Structure 1
């Protein structure tokens, strides 16, 4: 993604406070669950409202005379941002819809196999299984959730799982469970040697990490625009490399848009994609990635000495960015989430890795270090309270045992 401005230091808190002022601030809680959907900047929100008003006033006149040119502007700007050609993209409502369109159109043969991982997004896993059932395909699932696995280990795990029937690997670029960045380009290059296509879920990596879509070495990529780009809810993207479009459409002349039914839709969120890109580029993707990583490391370094906390995200900062997953020994993840919200008004969420629930913590560029200081203090207080309670309980049980031992035991006569 284009770097459009000078480098801004990740620890330049004065600059990032200026950026934070461009976002609305919740008054009742601190949001550290920014991985689900992004917050619109004030300029994007104003644009969205302006477009909606314009459409509401002009109604069918707008849709019949203005909309086509406005959509061309969106597609051109988005294609430039992604580093692809306009005819290689299709705007969708979200990533899941994009992958659904792709998998339905992909030229599978009966008996083909789709390979995916247990760490992939739950709805994507379900989508793969549904498509496999409809098209009489098989699926193979591998485990890559251990943060101790190196990139080389992960590439090898996928390679070892490929069989003669494997046609497609469904691959997540940045895992939503623990924030781990997957070596997508390396896996895609490896898969090509076996004539296996890689379909990339770039929901969380897009606009959080500094890359353009061709960098992933995949012919098929799905994206959410409502997360880290900060476009309105209801906007996503499907990318298909030009040379592969005919395989999906069945015609060398058909466009990607032929894969979805045409009809009336709400244009305002789509039109606001342009404003989201402009705001994003005014800061710079590289600067955003570095700031998010800096914020994650800021709070993580303050809790790494706490023996009760286990990290489920790779230690190497280059292998994750904004999203971190932790657990606390002896305290269920949901209890941690509830405590942080009830006692410190900090909103977080649980996620599942294998069979264990973890706490996912995700700052955004508008998050302040004081917000993260309160998170650290909340975790520290929770651990201390639990340890104190456990110690008191142990002493009570010990005293009770000594009391019982002072009385004669009942004997049978």
Structure 2
């Protein structure tokens, strides 16, 4: 959280703690609905097209698990760069819905045409596919998928798409309609900067019937999107702080945030690409990257290889990176600058990589 948001979270926590059950029973749900309306407006959706959740994982699990148009013998499809928890949810459809689950690999190195070609081939090879999981910004490599193009390709084949936008809204400048997808899960506690534990799901208004009510929810009518989420008690203060996070996001400007994050990414990547023994997995092609970029040392594809590099960068140079598994060609290391990251921080990263990559400095 940015400092203004953190202060608001403390203020709201104090208020909820002081007013306690009276507030929750008398006023919270009015405030909750005001927050939902604010989120919808910012995302470019109607209020009755979104429901607040505890994060993108919960939102996407509800969309995937609740999708009711599958029948035995159908297939569902996802890629190696999709998030682990969402892969699990897709895998669970085999037992739950009687479908075949198909996984394929996104090409590396990625280009727009290579990515589109990979999805086209996957569709052609699996003509019984009826549901696709598609990640807007991969948490593994930072690859930004050409979502609208893939969604259009899928629709031609009679395939519905659930889009994982956990990392994209706030990192990229877009409205939900631009994705052209009917089902999308979002985080508010990542690049929007709200407190931990808040997100939302989007279901286009005319597709609500295709997602089941959550565990048969009866708090809301079947025609109300809020029946697709039954979280129970939420973190009231976290929800109440969301408008402050959105206000700051809008004050900075989505386009300005996107430009800043891409600048910071380009600042270090442009220099590290000169190191022939470091593979940059995220392309420089316009529209296919934002803040997140991953790399691996040539030939270093195992968990132990990448854990050792992460430890060296952290303990030797005070640079925090994250090992990422699940990439078809081997594990890698993710670098994620934030808005407050400075060029000097990235200078230290580049200097560290110049040393860590050398055979004499094997880790």
| Structure 1 residue 243 corresponds to structure 2 residue 217 | no
| Structure 1 residue 143 corresponds to structure 2 residue 112 | no
Q: C-alpha distance in 2, partners of 1:301/1:312?
A: 13
In structure 2, relative to structure 1, the CA distance for the partners of 1:381 and 1:83 (3 Å cut) is: same
| Structure 1 residue 120 corresponds to structure 2 residue 82 | yes
Q: C-alpha distance in 1, partners of 2:54/2:284?
A: 34
Using the TM superposition, give the Cα deviation of residue 113 of structure 1 relative to its aligned residue in structure 2, in angstroms: 1.1
CA contact (8 A) 2:107 2:114 kept: no
2:354 corresponds in structure 1 to 380
Using the TM superposition, give the Cα deviation of residue 135 of structure 1 relative to its aligned residue in structure 2, in angstroms: 1.6
2:216 corresponds in structure 1 to none
Secondary structure of 1:272's partner?
Answer: helix
- Residues 255-270 of structure 1: pairs in structure 2 closer than 5 A: 255-261=224-230, 263-270=232-239
Using the TM superposition, give the Cα deviation of residue 61 of structure 1 relative to its aligned residue in structure 2, in angstroms: 1.1
Work out which structure has the larger RCO, using CA pairs closer than 8 Å and 6 or more positions apart in sequence: 1
Q: C-alpha distance in 2, partners of 1:389/1:144?
A: 30
TM-score normalized by structure 2? 0.91
2:306 corresponds in structure 1 to 333
CA contact (8 A) 1:76 1:86 kept: yes
CA contact (8 A) 1:117 1:142 kept: yes
Residue 354 of structure 1 is aligned with which of 328, 331, 356?
328
In structure 2, relative to structure 1, the CA distance for the partners of 1:362 and 1:317 (3 Å cut) is: farther
Q: C-alpha distance in 2, partners of 1:238/1:74?
A: 14
2:242 corresponds in structure 1 to 273
2:130 corresponds in structure 1 to 167
CA contact (8 A) 2:356 2:362 kept: no
In structure 2, relative to structure 1, the CA distance for the partners of 1:151 and 1:388 (3 Å cut) is: closer
CA contact (8 A) 1:293 1:317 kept: no
Residue 63 of structure 1 is aligned with which of 24, 42, 53?
24
CA contact (8 A) 2:75 2:101 kept: yes
1:74 corresponds in structure 2 to 35
2:253 corresponds in structure 1 to 284
- Residues 87-102 of structure 1: pairs in structure 2 closer than 5 A: 87-102=48-63
- Give CA deviations for 1:6-58 in whole Å, capped at 9, x if unaligned: xxxxxxxxxxxxxxxxxxxxxxxxxxxxxxxxxx0111111111111111111
Q: C-alpha distance in 1, partners of 2:319/2:154?
A: 42
In structure 2, relative to structure 1, the CA distance for the partners of 1:326 and 1:388 (3 Å cut) is: closer
Residue 170 of structure 2 is aligned with which of 184, 194, 207?
207
CA contact (8 A) 2:221 2:227 kept: no
The runs of at least 4 aligned residues of structure 1 exceeding 4 Å deviation read: 249-253
Q: C-alpha distance in 2, partners of 1:292/1:186?
A: 24
1:228 corresponds in structure 2 to 191
In structure 2, relative to structure 1, the CA distance for the partners of 1:55 and 1:370 (3 Å cut) is: same
Q: C-alpha distance in 2, partners of 1:207/1:388?
A: 38
Using the TM superposition, give the Cα deviation of residue 387 of structure 1 relative to its aligned residue in structure 2, in angstroms: 3.4
**Alignment coverage as a number of residue pairs:** 349
Alignment gaps of 5+ in structure 1: 1-39, 391-413
Using the TM superposition, give the Cα deviation of residue 389 of structure 1 relative to its aligned residue in structure 2, in angstroms: 7.5
Alignment gaps of 5+ in structure 2: 214-219
The alignment yields a C-alpha RMSD, in angstroms, of 1.9
- Give CA deviations for 1:83-128 in whole Å, capped at 9, x if unaligned: 0000000111111211111122211222221111111111111111
In structure 2, relative to structure 1, the CA distance for the partners of 1:253 and 1:379 (3 Å cut) is: closer
1:19 corresponds in structure 2 to none
- Give CA deviations for 1:155-195 in whole Å, capped at 9, x if unaligned: 23222222342111110111111111111100111111122
CA contact (8 A) 1:119 1:145 kept: no
- Give CA deviations for 1:258-299 in whole Å, capped at 9, x if unaligned: 123363322111111111100111100110011001001101
Using the TM superposition, give the Cα deviation of residue 249 of structure 1 relative to its aligned residue in structure 2, in angstroms: 4.5
Q: C-alpha distance in 1, partners of 2:35/2:312?
A: 43
1:344 corresponds in structure 2 to 317
Higher Rg? 1
Residue 269 of structure 2 is aligned with which of 276, 280, 300?
300
Using the TM superposition, give the Cα deviation of residue 333 of structure 1 relative to its aligned residue in structure 2, in angstroms: 2.0
Using the TM superposition, give the Cα deviation of residue 255 of structure 1 relative to its aligned residue in structure 2, in angstroms: 0.7
CA contact (8 A) 1:200 1:218 kept: yes
Q: C-alpha distance in 2, partners of 1:261/1:289?
A: 33
- Give CA deviations for 1:304-324 in whole Å, capped at 9, x if unaligned: 212221111113253111111
Using the TM superposition, give the Cα deviation of residue 252 of structure 1 relative to its aligned residue in structure 2, in angstroms: 8.5
Q: C-alpha distance in 1, partners of 2:63/2:299?
A: 43
CA contact (8 A) 2:53 2:231 kept: no
